[in-house]
Amino acid sequence: MAAKGPQLGIRHVQAALLFLNLAVNYIVRLNVGVLVVAMTEEKVTSNQSFPVPYLNRIFIWVNLYGYLYDHYAITAIRVDRGREIIHPFQLQLGIFADADSGQLPGPKSGGQDVHDRANLRRSPAKRLHAFGYPDRRAFCLIRLCQGVCQGLMVPCRHEHLAKWSPPAELEQMGVIAYSGIYCGTVLALLGSGYIANSSIGWTGISYVSAASCLCWCMLFFFWGENDPSSSYWIGDVERNHIESSLNSGHTCPKGDIPVPWQAIISSVPFRALVVVNCAHHWDDSTMEVQIPSYLHGVLHMSITKNGLTSSLHYLVRWIMSHVYILIAHMAIVGELIRPTPLKKWIVTVSTWGPALLYIAIGFLDRTNAGWVVTLMAIKAGLSAGSSIGGTMNIIALAPNHSALLMSILCVLSDVLTPLNPLITGAIVTDPANRSQWQIVFCLIALVLFLSNWVYIIWGSSELQPWDADDFLHKCSVECSEKEDVKDLPDLSNNAKVMHRDLCQRVTDRIDKVISKQQKNIRPKLNTDGNNVNIKIKD
């Protein structure tokens, strides 16, 4: 048995690099709301030497993941002439391309090169925001290019975690890496507004974002490694610890693995994971996009005047994600519960808890504004467990195909996410009408409740048989054996023929040795091929 690896090693450095990667990319991804607000209002910047931005005279509906500064997630900006709408889908192009453009890193190549190339391409795309393009189409095109580059990194992160995380430390490493989402969101909400209001103006948001991407690329270029076997920095003890623990749970093939598409699509645990993950994305979209509009319309609150308050639920999720992982680690190490029931309990808390709180928020009025903020924070804390039972469960199901499964999961989730503002807009015709918002919150609670039932019944954290590198080879061998069996002759008919011939030979031999009188009283042997029973009278 290999020695246990160091408490802090190169595997934790890789998780920290993924943390920084997610933080940087969410800063780039989420500062668009502040950027648009800054471009459309000259008063946001203290530097008046910048030209009036190209989006200054249009009517904008910014419907993109709650990037809040002096406006709400659904921001209406008055114009001097007419109304020209940037459709919500246009500003969400970058996010949709994020999921749909993933270049899957294979076991042979790993995710390091693809990861670095994606960030290097993303940096100049972010720098282009600072140039005064003539219309909104160029802005949306730049966001699309950024989404295409970021989409390359989605499967790489999971592939990287799958190669560097021993099974006992998978949840811990995953939470360290994916908590960068909350850190990046908080920094984007807090920092972008200060940058836009500084002497460098709104163009500084693009400059700082591009510089952050380039700095991360330099760090990952020197410290990032594809796997433990090819790492320059790792020690022998830690390398043996990671490789032995991975080999005990599943094989780690060096070559490319054929994808068992039919087995993946028909996998019931993966389908259950898709359902609950789509519900969690719907929940996050509602919290980030619709809740600020509800607070303003029904409760007449403005949480956007304070960047810390607007990012409160991200701070709570960041903290609670580590609380969840501590509980999960103690339960697994102490062998108190198996992984599958544990993750079902965590997903249940992070799904049914927010569902009940959504209903409670819908029944609060202006006199209970403080309770709304409190319930939002509690809801955010409960939702933090969704990554342990959802996103990280992909590696537990199929570590060899984790990159592919993550891409499929993101595509399906992001396809459904844009439907959220459309459905909410169809229900809520008056943002100040609390009854209409109650319908929206009850609908979200129903989606969360039903999706968790699906996961409780069909979800699993066990390694799937189709993850084996030789799964398709075994299936082809079994199918060929079945075909060979079909081609064999019917042995039962041959046995009947042999029995008939044997009976005839016995009869002929008896006829030669007995007398004619005895022949008449001797019963005849039945040699019919269809009847193998021989009855002889005394």
Domains recognised in the chain with CATH numbers: 7-249 (1.20.1250.20), 263-488 (1.20.1250.20), 494-538 (no CATH)
- With a pLDDT cut of 70, the percent of the chain lying above it is 63
Is the predicted pLDDT of residue 194 greater than 70, yes or no?
Answer: yes
Is the predicted pLDDT of residue 251 greater than 60, yes or no?
Answer: no
Q: What is the pLDDT of residue 497?
A: 60
Q: Between 409 and 256, whose confidence is greater?
A: 409
Q: What is the pLDDT of residue 134?
A: 45
> Length of the chain in residues, anyone?
538
pLDDT band at 396 (very low <50, low <70, confident <90, very high): confident
List the structure tokens of 241. Answer: 């610890």
Q: What number is the average pLDDT over the span 397-403?
A: 83
Q: Between 323 and 57, whose confidence is greater?
A: 323
Residue type for 377, please?
A
Q: What is the pLDDT of residue 449?
A: 94
CB 391 within 8 A of CB 177: no
Give the helix/strand (H/E) hosting 423.
helix 419-427
pLDDT band at 164 (very low <50, low <70, confident <90, very high): confident
Q: What is the pLDDT of residue 271?
A: 92
Q: Report H helices in 73-228.
A: 88-91, 93-100, 112-127, 136-151, 153-164, 170-178, 180-196, 203-223
Give the helix/strand (H/E) hosting 284.
helix 268-285
Give the helix/strand (H/E) hosting 240.
helix 236-249
> Between the CA of residue 256 and those of 19, 160, 166, 167, what are the distances in Å?
27, 16, 21, 22
CA distance 127 to 205: 9
Q: What number is the average pLDDT over the span 59-83?
A: 30
CB 168 within 8 A of CB 332: yes
- Which of these ranges, 74-78, 149-153, 255-259, 527-531, has the smallest mean pLDDT? 74-78
CA distance 183 to 22: 8
- Which of these ranges, 144-148, 179-183, 495-499, has the smallest mean pLDDT? 495-499
Give the CA radius of gyration of the chain.
33
CA atoms within a 13 Å half-sphere pointing along the CA-CB vector of 219: 17
CA atoms within a 13 Å half-sphere pointing along the CA-CB vector of 19: 16
Q: Between 167 and 473, whose confidence is greater?
A: 167
User: Torsion angle of alpha carbons 120, 123, 124, 128, nearest 10°?
Assistant: 160
CA atoms within a 13 Å half-sphere pointing along the CA-CB vector of 171: 28
CB 143 within 8 A of CB 32: yes
- The CA-CA-CA angle for residues 424, 299, 354, to 5°, reads 55
CA atoms within a 13 Å half-sphere pointing along the CA-CB vector of 477: 5
Q: What number is the average pLDDT over the span 130-159?
A: 67
Instruction: Count the Cβ atoms, other than its own, within 10 Å of residue 153.
Output: 25
CA distance 132 to 196: 16
CA distance 299 to 502: 98
Q: What is the pLDDT of residue 455?
A: 94
Is the predicted pLDDT of residue 72 greater than 50, yes or no?
Answer: no
pLDDT band at 299 (very low <50, low <70, confident <90, very high): confident
List the structure tokens of 531. Answer: 């009847």
List the structure tokens of 188. Answer: 């984007």
List the structure tokens of 37. Answer: 């607000």
Q: Between 265 and 36, whose confidence is greater?
A: 265
Q: What number is the average pLDDT over the span 130-153?
A: 65
Q: Which residues of 184-221 are buried (b: 16+ CB within 10 A; e: fewer)?
A: bbbbbbebbbebbbeebbbbbbbbbbbebbbebbeebe
Is the predicted pLDDT of residue 504 greater than 60, yes or no?
Answer: yes
Q: What number is the average pLDDT over the span 123-128?
A: 48
Is the predicted pLDDT of residue 533 greater than 70, yes or no?
Answer: no
Q: What number is the average pLDDT over the span 367-377?
A: 84
Per-range mean pLDDT, top range of 38-52, 154-168, 206-220, 343-357: 343-357
Residue 517 burial (C-beta neighbours within 10 Å; 0-12, 13-18, 19+): exposed
Is the predicted pLDDT of residue 432 greater than 90, yes or no?
Answer: no
pLDDT band at 482 (very low <50, low <70, confident <90, very high): low
Q: What number is the average pLDDT over the span 302-326?
A: 72
CA distance 71 to 56: 15
Q: What number is the average pLDDT over the span 404-409?
A: 85
Instruction: Count the Cβ atoms, other than its own, within 10 Å of residue 452.
Output: 25
CB 100 within 8 A of CB 127: no
CB 67 within 8 A of CB 33: yes
CA distance 30 to 126: 12
Residue type for 380, please?
A
CA distance 400 to 406: 12
- With a pLDDT cut of 90, the percent of the chain lying above it is 9
**What is the residue-averaged pLDDT of the chain?**
71
Instruction: Count the Cβ atoms, other than its own, within 10 Å of residue 285.
Output: 24
> Between the CA of residue 401 and those of 128, 129, 394, what are the distances in Å?
35, 36, 9
Q: Any residues with CB less than 8 A from the CB of 4 and at least 6 apart, and which?
A: 241
CA distance 75 to 65: 12
Is the predicted pLDDT of residue 91 greater than 80, yes or no?
Answer: no
Q: What number is the average pLDDT over the span 374-379?
A: 88
pLDDT band at 412 (very low <50, low <70, confident <90, very high): confident
- Which of these ranges, 8-12, 126-130, 395-399, has the smallest mean pLDDT? 126-130
CB 192 within 8 A of CB 69: yes
End-to-end CA distance of the chain, in Å?
A: 74
Per-range mean pLDDT, top range of 243-247, 339-343, 364-368: 339-343
